[in-house]
A and B are shown apart, each in its own frame.
Chain A
């Protein structure tokens, strides 16, 4: 796979504040890459740098092998979709779609052709003569996607495009976006703070924090093998349970409990004992019949039960530590009850306490 976008040693500072720090990222041809992080992590800033809307302090950006670090946004071969849609309010949908092409002096019949094609793909043909004000949120976002589509570019940039839509519409458009990517096979870079969007859409996810990429990997890797404590904590809802203890000769010890880590794949052979943190996802804890087959079994006191319909969230006490367990929606558990749970070490994550990196 050749690289569509390459980012090399990118730095960006606003005065003394370093927003992006020595950032490197290669994005493959036709890849759907999601930049994920909480607000202020630099994900939108990075996207704006790729688009050429922000001037970088140092480093280089290549698109299709061409150094575009100092090129104008329109010269980079990108299309961009914004959170607020950013449609030109006084122009019709057609005007919105063709504005960029007119600026690029594309011949008239060519414009017509491309607008018609994009409208067909996005099913917005009946809306072409309307003004953005007369469109619904979902329709507006479709037009905004169309505006990137007609430009016939290599790379699509999405800046939280679904955040302004209501929950139901967001799911619909998410599915459509995925379908669109399958159909077009363009490179897409997508910024979001919503991990569900990231998990469902991405070929690869880059989890960002403080202007740095914390982990770059497939959704599966990000979810199952978080590279550090931050990613482990950030991904998953409800978030991972963490217990602090010591790793001694292949066994994790917390208080008087001992968890032999049989089946856990260490990144490197563990020689020395060390303080460590174990992370266990609430949905990886088994209960009821399945406990018998689990390598590790514990008794917990149920503290609080939150039935959520599709599943039930149980807040329990494992020794002195609070522990979240995700159970079936049909589970009948009461406050104060004692239940047995089972844990599979191969699905857990171990982190070094001082470096917070995965062991």
Chain B
């Protein structure tokens, strides 16, 4: 026979009935741990927000965890419109718009290419298609550093080095493995008979893709878009490597330059406002998409 302690513990098993007393020792421990950990996770966001709303004197006097005594939005305005990188003093807005100009075409092209790849790989396999896919997947694990310089040469040859277009192409290439995998697995889960029926009905490669498969795969498009938006927006390495002029830096690169510039007084409030601004796009996507975000990373991660 199990002793009573074991029994209580077993009773709180994940799918068992809810324990009758809400405040037994086990529960207090579970909730206590979770709440403390949650505070650790939430803290940086909180610090970012309160710091960005304080005046500089208040920051230098006080406690970074204390809420602002006097709320000011000036740091936000300054971060967006006036912060300096080098000689440019028009704020993060420049980087923001650069990132948007990089993001939109990258998104469209990479999702289009990946969905077609996934479709071809799952339904129209040809000799060698699995090999190319295998290489693509291995490529996702190789440190990007080893491919950086050859791509510089390729882009230079194509006259695209330093341009936004070049960076877009780089994002398309490096977003390809994960998104192709995502679409391939999704299309592979569609019953093969549906594909056969469409072929008997005389539909070819593109007709089946556009008429049958696309209307069925909206959720996976959303997942893919989420992965790409956060991935491309958060990129730093490619932005700093393939954009040659500070005018065209994406937001993350510009943010790093603003905050880590050694000149002048450190304006912590402006820095935090800028940081928060940069994080805002993925955060909004994250909080708005909820479960789909989780599904996206799980789909990308679990079957590697």
Contact = CB atoms under 8 A, between A and B. Distances in A.
Interface residues of A, number: 28
B201 A100 contact: yes
A71 B52 CA distance: 69
Given A82-B193, A84-B193, A73 B216 contact: no
A53 B196 contact: yes
Contacts of A82: 193, 196-197
Given A84-B193, A86-B196, A103 B201 contact: yes
A78 to B, nearest CB: 7
A74 B202 CA distance: 5
B34 interface: no
A86 B202 contact: no
Interface in B199-221: 199-203, 207, 211-212, 215-216
Residue from B194, B202, B207 with most neighbouring chain A CB atoms (10 Å): B202
Interface in B151-205: 191, 193-194, 196-203
Nearest to B203: A103
A298 B296 CA distance: 71
Given A82-B193, A86-B194, A103-B207, A74 B212 contact: no
B200 A99 contact: no
Nearest to A144: B197
A78 B193 CA distance: 15
Given A90-B215, A90-B216, A99 B194 contact: no
A103 B200 CA distance: 10
Interface string A237-279: 0000000000000000000000000000000000000000000
Interface in A184-226: none
Nearest to B197: A86
Contact of B199 (A73, A79, A89, A104): A73
Contacts of A86: 191, 193-194, 196-197
A83 interface: yes
Interface string B42-58: 00000000000000000
B202 to A, nearest CB: 3
A196 B163 CA distance: 70
Nearest to A88: B212
A79 B203 CA distance: 14
B216 A78 contact: no
Contacts of A85: 193
Nearest to B195: A86
Contact of B198 (A51, A88, A159): A88
B216 to A, nearest CB: 6
Interface residues of B, number: 16
A53 B196 CA distance: 7
A83 B193 contact: yes
B194 A88 contact: yes
A99 B207 CA distance: 11
Contacts of B199: 52-53, 72-74
Contact of A74 (B194, B201, B211): B201
A115 to B, nearest CB: 13
B202 A100 contact: yes
Contacts of B198: 88, 99
Interface in B15-73: none
Contacts of A103: 201-203, 207
B200 A80 contact: yes
Given A53-B196, A89-B216, A99-B211, A84 B202 contact: no
Q: Which of B191, B194, B200 has the most CB of A within 10 A?
A: B200
B204 to A, nearest CB: 8
A44 to B, nearest CB: 11
Interface in B215-232: 215-216
A84 B194 CA distance: 8
B214 to A, nearest CB: 9
B207 A79 contact: no
Given A90-B215, A90-B216, A104 B197 contact: no
A324 interface: no
A78 B202 contact: no
Interface of B: 191, 193-194, 196-203, 207, 211-212, 215-216
Given A74-B202, A74-B203, A88-B198, 11 more contacts: A48-B196, A53-B196, A53-B200, A73-B200, A74-B201, A75-B202, A86-B197, A88-B212, A100-B200, A100-B202, A147-B197
19 contacts: A51-B200, A53-B199, A73-B199, A74-B199, A74-B203, A82-B197, A84-B191, A86-B193, A86-B196, A88-B197, A99-B211, A100-B200, A100-B201, A100-B202, A103-B201, A103-B202, A103-B203, A147-B197, A151-B201
Closest CB pairs A-B (n = 9): A74-B202, A100-B201, A103-B202, A86-B193, A86-B197, A90-B215, A82-B193, A80-B200, A86-B194
